[in-house]
Every structure is written in C-alpha cells, then in structure tokens.
Amino acid sequence: MNYKHLFCLLFFVLFVFPGFSQETETEKILKTFHSISSHELLGFAEELSSPKYKGRLSGSPEYLDAAKWCADKFAEWGIKPANAGSYFQDFPNEYSEVSSVGKLVYSSQKGKEINYRFPDDYLPGSNSASGSVSGEMVYVGYGITAPELNYDDFKNVDVKGKIIILESGVPYTKNDTTLTKWTPYAYHRYKFKNAVKHGAAGMIYASKIANPNTVNLDDFIYAHISNKVVEQIFADAGKDYKAVKKLLQKREAPSFALNKNQKISISAKTKYFPNAKSYNVVGLLEGTDPVLKDEVIIIGGHLDGQGQMGEVLFPGALDNASGVADILGAAKALAFSEVKPKRSVLFILIGGEECGLYGSKFYVENPLFPIEKTKMMINLDMVGNGTGFFVASGKSFPEIYKHFEDANDNFLHRTMNASETRKNYGRPRSDASIFEDAGINTLGLWTRNSVFPVHYHLPMDKINVLTPEIMEDAAKLLYLSILSVANDEGL
Ligand SMILES: [Zn+2]
C-alpha cells in the first residue's frame, strides 16, 4: 500500500464511513460507566464520616457544613440548584447536642455500685434533659396506655418520682390492619410523653442505639441500656427478663416495681436547640427532551446521622454516608455522561431522617416537581457493605425494575433480588415510605450479604466497615438504570 492508498483509506474511515470513527451510544455510556471509581466513592464516604461534621446531626451547624460540601460537589459537576436558585430546602428541625457521654450507675440489692460502661452497656439519650436523676425503678413494658385497645402498661404500678424501664415497640407484631390501631403508640415521642404524664422522673430505654428520633421534654432525663444490663437488674430482683418479655408479647402488660434497694442514677449533659433548622440538598440535571424534561426521576438518601456524644463520634459510615457517596458517584456520572437523560433527574440528600423523617415529609409537602410528574424515586439507605443488591418494591414496578435488571445482568453480575410493595401498617421507618405514601413509585436500594459486621447507630459504624467494590457497583447500577429509565419513552 502506498501513501496515496493509505490517504484514501483514512479519508474513507474518517469522513465517508463515520461508523468507524464515531463511538456508538453504548461505547459512550461504557466510557462513563468505567469512570466510576470505588476509590473516589470511598473518599466521599470518608469525608462525610470525618470528625469535622460531628456525625451530621440534623439541625446542627456541622450538618449544614456537610450539606454545603455536597452542594459544592453538585456545583463543581454542573448539577444545578433545584430550589429557585438554591441547593437547599430548609425545614424546622429541633435537636439536642449531647455534650458528654454522661454516667449510669446502678446500686444493687445488696448495695454494690456498678458504673456501667459507655458504649457497651449504655448510651446517653439523644434528647435527654441535662442533669441527674436517681431513684427506684419500675418496669413498664411498652409504656402504652390504650384504653380503646383495653391495654395499659401503667395500670398496676405507681411510677411517680421513679425511673421507669421501657421497651420499644408495641404488643402486636403482624403487619396487617390491626397494627394500624397500635401505630400511634409505636412512636418514641408518644412513649416519652406518656411516661411523663404518669409522673416518671427518668427513664432507661431497653434499646441500646443512638436515637435522635425522640423528644426533649422539660427535665426528663433518660439513657438507653443494653438487654444484658436489664437482664442483670432483673436477675438481682429474682426476675427472669426473658420470661417477662414473653408475657409482654402476649399482651399481658407484666409491669412491676423492682426492689426498693435497687437504684439507678442517670447523669446527662445536653443542650437543647428548639428553634433549629435543617436542610435537604437538592440538585437538578435538567432533561434534554423538550417535553419529557417536565417529568422527573428522584434519587435520594439521607445525609444526616446520629451526631456525636461528648467526644465520641458516631460516624454513620454505612448509615448513610455510603448511600450519599453512591448518589454522588451516580450524579457525577450522569452529569458528565455524553448520553444525556431525556427526563430530568433530581438528587435529594435528605435531612432530618434520623430525627423522624423530617426532610422527606417536607419534600413531599413541598415538591419541586409535581408529584404526578414524578416518574419514580429510588431511596438509598445503607448501601455499602455486602456483595449483592436488594431492590425493595422492584417487583411492583416491573417496567421500571427491568432497567435495573438489564443493567445488572449485562454489566455488573451481582446477585440482585427484589420484593413487592407491602403496605406498612405500622410506623413509617424510612424516607422511602414517605415518598411511597405520597403516591410516588418508590424503590429502595440496599446492599445484601454483609462482608463486615453492621454496627447500627453505634460509634463503630466507621469507614472500615464499608466495601468500596459494592459502592462502585451501586453507583454504576444507578447510572445505567436511571439513564435508561430517563430515556424510556414508553414509560
Ligand atoms: Zn439510615
């Protein structure tokens, strides 16, 4: 071949047969797909879990710093502010700062003092009042007074001036319409108020997790304790905790006062901010189709965590820095993708989830796109530890879910299962349920088959419990399937 022939061939390749030199749509998508890096995603999660954001307690200044950091990322990638020129959507969010890990001291039947250990035996109450309280104890089961259900945990006991031991939950476990009757009593806030109404001076909650989804009531001091500690206190009174719990599950309200010599003392140091505000971070990638751009797909996940207790950080790495990192990864990919979404894509990093789903409730009451134009929402919560995927409600929306299945089958090859939507007759427990109740086709993405232990709402929920490989694949799954849903004109 001489130079003249070579020139002719090049001319043919470059100009006559553009298929040779131009990338196909799939090639363009794959280029972006492969740019999603586990290294970068882990970096996002590490940033958000770092001590400077103090565990991202919704309402706190450090939460706002984390929100601003995420908004800066959106801006850097060309994702537009979605709320009338702002990346933020604000809502009221009272909160309490826990300034010390406090103290929990037990005085036994025989007068022996035990200093319980943080965080193995107890955790301070996220909304406890500040100060100290000590006294005799009364076990009140679920702490529910429901005359219409002929149920009262307080009926045979006097808790005035005493410290109650309380369980979370309600005495009904089936998810059916009967549960609806118990739902108002399932809220921690209800239980706290009912305890105060009956004159309790303080409380130990037999559910040892950090939990801002409670309420700050004047002078009401409380802490969370482990089941092991309750067992010990019961044993000291000659009671079998497991047997009592069985009675409780049978709706027998087995409340009783512990022995008079047994005493507990709780010390807490907190600061209450009743008028605080918090924020959803909202970023928009406008669709390219003149008609379809009025329809939107929402990718969301909560940015907030449980905060910090004294000097002890609750990093919330899996819950939910992982989900936010996945969303940021997908957002960046969608923003840089040469193949653009025809429908609009709205990213919401939700605030106030841990305090009681404040941010998602605020969004559905003040949506940035009409609800009927919202084609779907996918919520990510704890998506960063495991080897497989689970898509909640995927089976109920086959025309949406098929895009996720195709993406996984063709490019990711992870085990992926889906469930059908099942109405929850109990208390809503996730942002997804709020979007679902508002009438939006909502999916939930989780990782399955944990590689590392899951330290739910504990200081050990650190960056080292994340599996960056699945985070990369979660972002890739989102990128491929959301782009595909956004461009499916048949939807
Ligand atoms: Zn969460």
Interval between CA 81 and ligand 1 midpoint (Å) = 24
On whether the CB atoms of residues 38 and 469 are closer than 8 A, the answer is yes
32 Cα: distance to centroid of ligand 1 (angstroms): 28
Please state the rounded mean pLDDT for residues 150-168: 95
Dihedral pair phi/psi, residue 225, rounded to 5°: -125, 160
What confidence category does residue 16 fall into, taking pLDDT thresholds of 50, 70 and 90?
very low
Q: What is the mean pLDDT of residues 367-381?
A: 97
Instruction: Kindly give the distance from the C-alpha atom of residue 199 to the centroid of ligand 1, in angstroms, as a whole number.
Output: 33
Statement: 31-92+275-486 belongs to CATH 2.40.50.140: no
pLDDT of residue 336: 98
Whole-number Å distance between alpha carbons of 161 and 138: 10
Going from the Cα of 136 to the center of ligand 1, the distance in angstroms, rounded, reads 35
Residue 278: pLDDT over 90: yes
264 Cα–ligand 1 center, Å: 32
Looking at residue 21, its pLDDT comes to 55
Question: What residue has token string 């002890």?
Answer: 312
Where residue 424 falls among pLDDT bands split at 50, 70, 90?
confident
Q: Which amino acid is at 375?
A: K
- What is the CA(340)–ligand 1 centre distance, in A? 30
Question: In the predicted model, is pLDDT for residue 235 greater than 60?
Answer: yes
- At 187-202, the pLDDT tens digits run 999 999 999 999 999 9
CA of 167 relative to ligand 1 center, distance in Å? 21
CATH fit for domain 104-272, picks 3.40.50.150, 3.40.50.1000, 3.50.30.30, 1.10.275.10? 3.50.30.30
Beta-bridge partner residues of 271: 97
Q: How would DSSP label each residue in 320-376?
A: IIIHHHHHHHHHHHHHH-SSPPSSEEEEEEE-SHHHHSHHHHHHHHS-SS-GGGEEE
How far is the centre of ligand 1, averaged over its atoms, from the C-alpha of 466 (Å)?
A: 14
Distance of alpha carbon 85 from its chain centroid, rounded? 27
User: How high is the pLDDT of residue 425?
Assistant: 85
What is the DSSP annotation of 187-253? SHHHHHHHHHHTT--EEEES--S---SS---TT-EEEEE-HHHHHHHHHHTT--HHHHHHHHHTT--
Distance (angstroms) between ligand 1 centre and the Cα of 294 equals: 30
Q: What angle do CA 275, 277, 278 make, to 5 degrees?
A: 150
357 CA distance to ligand 1 centroid (A)?
Answer: 10
Rounded to the nearest angstrom, the distance between the alpha carbon of 88 and the centre of ligand 1 is 20
Tell how far the Cα of 383 is from the centroid of ligand 1, in angstroms. 10
Strand pairing report for 344-350 and 277-285: antiparallel
Distance, CA of 296 to CA of 82 (rounded, Å):
12
**What pLDDT is stored for residue 437 in this prediction?**
95
Helices (H) and strands (E) in the chain, counts: 15, 24
Q: What's the 63 CA to ligand 1 centre distance in angstroms?
A: 15
Please list, residue by residue across 299-335, b when 16 or more beta carbons sit within 10 angstroms of its beta carbon and e when fewer do: bbbbbbbbbbbeebbbbbbbbbbbbbbbbbbbbbbbb
Structure tokens at 438: 């508002």
Q: How far is the CA of 464 from the centre of ligand 1 (A)?
A: 17
pLDDT(19) > 60: no
Instruction: Give CA–CA dist 307/375, Å, rounded.
Output: 34
User: 320 CA distance to ligand 1 centroid (A)?
Assistant: 5
**Backbone φ/ψ region at 356: left (φ over 0), alpha (ψ -120 to 50), beta:** left
Percent of the chain exceeding pLDDT 90 equals 90
Measured in Å, residue 378 CA sits from the centre of ligand 1 at: 14
Residue closest to 217 by CA, chosen among 301, 133, 334, 316? 133
Q: Is the pTM of this model over 0.85?
A: yes
Distance 432 CA to ligand 1 centre (A): 11
**Res 457 pLDDT > 90:** yes
Q: How far is the CA of 303 from the centre of ligand 1 (A)?
A: 9
Q: Would 31-92+275-486 and 104-272 be classified into the same CATH topology?
A: no
* pLDDT, tens digit, 9 for 90 and up, residues 103-133: 999 999 999 999 999 999 999 999 999 999 9
**d(C-alpha 177, C-alpha 28), whole Å:** 50
Rounded Cα distance between 427 and 44, Å, is 32
Distance in Å, CA 302 to ligand 1 centroid: 7
Encoding tokens for residue 446?
A: 């989780």
Residue 277: what residue type?
Answer: K
Cα 358 to middle of ligand 1, angstroms: 13
Give residue 382 CA to ligand 1 midpoint distance, Å. Answer: 6
Residues 160-184 have a mean pLDDT of 93
Model confidence at 27, pLDDT cuts 50, 70, 90, reads very high
Q: Measured in angstroms, how far is the CA atom of residue 448 from the centroid of ligand 1?
A: 15
Question: How confident is the prediction for the chain on average, in pLDDT?
Answer: 94
Ligand 1 centroid–CA 194 distance in Å is 27
Using pLDDT thresholds of 50, 70 and 90, give the confidence band for residue 429.
Answer: confident
pLDDT of residue 212: 93
How far, in Å, is the centroid of ligand 1 from the Cα of 428? 13
Ligand 1 centroid distance, CA of 314 (Å):
13
pLDDT on residue 13: 47
Q: Does residue 24 carry a pLDDT above 90?
A: yes
Q: How far is the CA of 239 from the centre of ligand 1 (A)?
A: 35
**DSSP 8-state secondary structure symbol assigned to residue 257:** E
Q: What is the DSSP letter of 395?
A: G
CB 351 within 8 A of CB 358: yes
Are the C-beta atoms of 133 and 204 separated by less than 8 Å? Answer: no
Residue whose structure tokens are 């098929």: 402
Tell me the CA–centroid distance for residue 403 and ligand 1, in Å.
25
363 Cα: distance to centroid of ligand 1 (angstroms): 17
Confidence band (pLDDT; 50, 70, 90) for 423?
confident
DSSP conformation letters of 430-444: SHHHHHHHTT--EEE
Mean pLDDT, residues 308-319 taken together: 97
Query: Smallest Cα–Cα separation from 287: which of 477, 474, 440, 483?
Result: 483
Q: From ligand 1's centre to the CA of 347, what distance in Å?
A: 17
What is the band of 365 on the pLDDT scale with cuts at 50, 70, 90? very high
State in Å: Cα 101 to ligand 1 middle: 22
Provide the pLDDT confidence category of residue 428 given band limits of 50, 70 and 90. confident
Sketch the domain layout of the chain as residue ranges. Answer: 31-92+275-486, 104-272
Q: What integer pLDDT is reported at residue 5 of this predicted model?
A: 59
**Cα 305 to ligand 1 centroid, rounded to whole Å:** 8
What burial class does residue 238 get, using C-beta atoms within 10 Å of its C-beta: 0-12 exposed, 13-18 middle, 19+ buried? exposed
CA angle (264, 268, 272) in 5-degree steps: 140
Is 60 exceeded by the pLDDT of residue 303?
yes
Q: Please confirm whether the linkage preceding 119 is cis (ω < 30° from 0).
A: yes
Q: Tell which residue, 407, 382, 391, has the closest CA to residue 471.
A: 382
**Residue-level pLDDT at 196:** 96
Query: Which of 333, 322, 311 shows the shortest CA–CA distance to 459?
Result: 311
Average pLDDT over residues 447-471: 95
Cross-strand partners of 345: 285, 297
Instruction: For residues 280-291, give the mean pLDDT.
Output: 98
